[in-house]
Structure 1
Amino acid sequence: MFLQLVYISTARPTLELSDVESILQTSRRRNGADGVTGLLIFDGKRFLQALEGPEAQVAKTYERIQADPRHRAVVQLNRAEVSERQFGQWAMASQLVGPVMGSGSMVEQVDQLTDAIEDPNIKATLRSFARVRGAA
C-alpha cells in the first residue's frame, strides 16, 4: 500500500520561475531517494501537487512542503491509501501551464498530462484545477 496525498497552495508574490525550477530539481532528487512519485502543476499563482509512496516518506515530504516559505495557504485536498501508484515511476512529473508558459490552453495541457491516470477522483481533482484557473 502507498499513501497518496494531493494538496493545493498559493505562491508568494515574490516567487520567480527560477524558484520553481529549483523546487523541481530538489524534489526530483529527494523523491527519487525516498521512493516518492507524483505530479506538480504550477500556473504562475498556484501549485497543485500529488504525492505518493511509502507513508512515512510522503508525510515527511508534505511536512517540508508546508514549511517552505515560497508558498502559503497549503490545503490538503485528498489523502488516501492506494494499492497502485497513479504516477508511475515519475520522481516528479511537472507542468508549468497557462500564463507561466505564455501560451497554450491550461485545460488542454493538464488533460494531456493526466490522461493516463486511472483513478477518476484524482483525475477529476487535477483537471478541475485547470478548469477553475482557465476560467479565472
Structure 2
Amino acid sequence: MLQLVYVSSANRREAPDPASILAVSRGNNRRDGITGMLYSDGTRFLQVLEGPDERVEAAYARIQADPRHRAIVILSRRAIDAREFGEWEMAHHAPGGDADAFIERIAELAANASSDIRATFEGFAKVRRAA
C-alpha cells in the first residue's frame, strides 16, 4: 500500500470550494479504495492519500491536472503496511475560527500517523494559523 503526502497552493483564478472538493474526493476515494486526510485553509492544501499504489498514483495525477492547484510538491511517498489515517477526513479552517481547536482537531486526525507525517500536519496547521 502507498502513502503519498503533498502540499500545494490554491490557484487564485480557480477559487477552491472545500465542500465541492470534499464531495468529489469522497466519491473517487470510495471507488478507488483510497483513504487519508486533506487539510485546507482556502489558500493551501496538505493532503495524505493511502491505498493501492496504482490508485494513489492515479489520484495524484488527477490532482496535478486540477487547475485549482499550483506549486504541487510531494513531501513523502512511502510504502505502508496499514492505513495511518483511517477513513478520509477533511479539515478546514475558516478565517476567524477557533485556531487552537482546529490545531487540536488536526492532532486527533493525525494521531495514528508516523511521527514525521504527524509533525508535518501539525506544524503546517500551526504555521497557517499564524499566517
User: TM-score, normalized by length of structure 1?
Assistant: 0.87
Q: Percent identity?
A: 47
Q: Which runs of 5+ in 2 are unaligned?
A: none
Matched with 2:123 is 128
Q: Which runs of 5+ in 1 are unaligned?
A: none
Alpha-carbon RMSD across the aligned residues, in angstroms, is: 1.5
- Distance in 2 between the 1:15 and 1:111 partners? 29
Shift in Å at residue 135 of structure 1?
A: 2.4
Matched with 2:107 is 111
* Correspondence 1:3 to 2:18: no
Whether contact under 8 Å (1:11, 1:46) holds in the other structure is yes
Matched with 2:91 is 95
- Distance in 1 between the 2:85 and 2:113 partners? 10
Aligned pairs for 1:8-47 within 5 A: 8-16=7-15, 19-47=17-45
Matched with 2:75 is 77
- Distance in 1 between the 2:97 and 2:126 partners? 16
- Cα-to-partner distance string for 1:72-110 (whole Å, 9 max, x where unaligned): 11110000000010011x1x20011142xx311142332
User: TM-score, normalized by length of structure 2?
Assistant: 0.90
Aligned counterpart for 1:54 among listed residues 52, 65, 79: 52
- Distance in 2 between the 1:23 and 1:82 partners? 26
SS at the partner of 1:38? strand
Whether contact under 8 Å (1:36, 1:51) holds in the other structure is yes
- Distance in 1 between the 2:14 and 2:119 partners? 27
- Distance in 1 between the 2:125 and 2:72 partners? 18
Query: Where do 4+ consecutive residues of structure 1 move more than 3 Å?
Result: 14-17
